[in-house]
Amino acid sequence: MAVNREVLMESIRIARDDKLSRSDIEMLRTIESATSFSALVAQRADWVTYRQSLRDYPSTIPDPVSDDLSDLPPITLSPTEQAAVDAAELNSTTE
């Protein structure tokens, strides 16, 4: 069955917009918890890069898309999500 590109792109945009909305809250938490100006600047840069990646994500979707969606690029993880993945990987290698 062929993939309906319009439906796929709408779903991608909805997921992307949700991640952008959630990142607003996470960015505020980052600002509030910053222990130094240099830490704030570094963390802010990570969030700016992440948010731009989310905005650009729809343009990375190939046309046409394979029926099994195996050629879809993964959506970017937020700095918070990436830190959790990194911590889990670190824990699994130290056990």
* pLDDT value for 7: 93
Quick one: tokens of 91?
């824990």
List, for residues 29-44, the tens digit of each pLDDT value: 888 888 899 988 988 8
Structural domain for 34, as ranges: 5-94
State the total domains in the chain: 1
Mean pLDDT of 63-87: 92
Q: Distance (Å, rounded) from C-alpha 6 to C-alpha 31?
A: 37
pLDDT classification of 1: cutoffs 50, 70, 90:
low
Q: Is the dihedral of CA 21, 22, 28, 30 positive or negative?
A: negative
